[in-house]
Each structure stands twice: as structure tokens, then as C-alpha cells.
Structure 1
Amino acid sequence: MEAADTLADAGFKVLEVATADAALRYLQEKDGVDLLFTDVNMPGDLNGFDLAREVAARWPEILIVVCSGATKPGPGDLPAKARFIDKPYSSGLVEQVLRELRTA
């Protein structure tokens, strides 16, 4: 919820989905998604790393932020342009990462 509020405050229209499969279905059906912000741990067959790699491969224009308080990325977990944020995080850190991604 805090991340959704921070993203909305940063000017993003926020859509929350419960699973990676639901996120992929949404992306297949809709245009105009600028950012994927996902936790590593989520229900379903895919985790946040899987989702990030799939989104990067299919929609390279989408910015990607993956977060977790329990799991750190290992080699190959994150796509090249994705960023990882440890939980707990501040809204200031999220805003900083978004600025960096937008200018990269």
C-alpha cells in the first residue's frame, strides 16, 4: 500500500494485481504501462524476478523495480535495466530510484 501511494504521488496511475500471471494478462491486453513495481514473493507460479525478466523481454520500454525484505537478487535474477530495493524502504528511496530509471 505504501508503494502504491508513493507511486501515485510521483504521478503514476497505479493498478494493483495479486499475481504475476494477472500482471502479464493485463500487460497483454493494455497499452501505456510505464512501470512495473513488484515484490519478489507473490502468490502463483511466478515470483517477482520471473515477472521482471518476462516483462523486460516482452516490453523493454517498461521500467522495472523489484523489492523484497526476504530475498536478495542473485546472478541473472534481475534484467539489466531493472533496479532492486530492499524492504523496508522509504518513499524518498523509491522516488530516487524512479528518477534514476527515467534518466537512464
Structure 2
Amino acid sequence: MAILVLVVEDEPIIRMNTVAMIEDAGYDVLEACNADDAMALMESRPDIAAVFSDIEMPGSMDGLALMHEVRIGWPPVVLILASGRITPPACEMPNDTTFLRKPYSETSLLDALHAVH
């Protein structure tokens, strides 16, 4: 069974490109356009092994807050956070979160996903 990755990105073109990169590498992907939708998917899909999220999104929480919620509720899930404008200090991110600056390369994204087992 393929590893399931949740991609959370409000910009449709960026989300589509990220999903394509991840699927081309052999992973299964779910998509959400904000953290609220992502949390609903996390609660309904216990097989999600990794969450890739943008920081800046509309809704009740941003990507950084989403990462903290996922780390609390699903500790083993691999967390990957991305932004082109914000670089949070490591102390503000949950433990073991990989940060990628946009535009990120396919190699850096896939390297971060290799942590998923």
C-alpha cells in the first residue's frame, strides 16, 4: 500500500504542482485548501503519514498552527512546512518539522518525504 500524504495549500496552481510531484514519486495524496479541511481529513483518515502545508492560508488557523495541532493529535506524522515569505524560527515549529522555502525543488520536497516509513 502506498504512503498517504496530505497537501494543504490554498493556491490551486501551487497545490496542483506539489501534488503532481508527490504522486509522480509514488505516494498517494489527499488535498486540502485550508487548515480546517486538513483537520477534517486528519480526523477521518488515520492512514495519513505526512502533512505538507503552506504557512499562509485563510481559515481559522495558518499552516504553523496546523502543524502544532497535527503534532499533538498524530505524533508520528511527518511534518513539512513551506513558505515564500515567512521563515519561522525552529523554536516556533513543532519538533521534527522540515521547513522548505518556496519555490522549493522537487528534490528537496522528496528528500523531506523520505522520512516517511
Give the alignment's TM-score, normalised by structure 2.
0.80
The yes-or-no answer on 1:31 pairing with 2:36 is no
- 2:59 pairs with 10, 29, 44, which one? 44
Q: Structure 2: 5+ residue runs without aligned partners?
A: 1-15
Identity %: 30
1:31 maps to amino acid: P
What is the match of residue 79 of structure 1?
94
| CA separation of 1:3 and 1:72: change in aligned 2, threshold 3 A | same
The yes-or-no answer on 1:102 pairing with 2:107 is no
Q: Structure 1: 5+ residue runs without aligned partners?
A: none
Equivalent runs, 1:12-23 vs 2, <5 Å: 12-23=27-38
Query: Aligned-residue CA RMSD in angstroms?
Result: 1.4
The 2-side partners of 1:75 and 1:98 are apart by: 19
Hey, which of these two has a bigger chunk of strand by percent?
2
3-state SS of 2:91 partner = coil
The 2-side partners of 1:75 and 1:63 are apart by: 16
3-state SS of 1:76 partner = helix
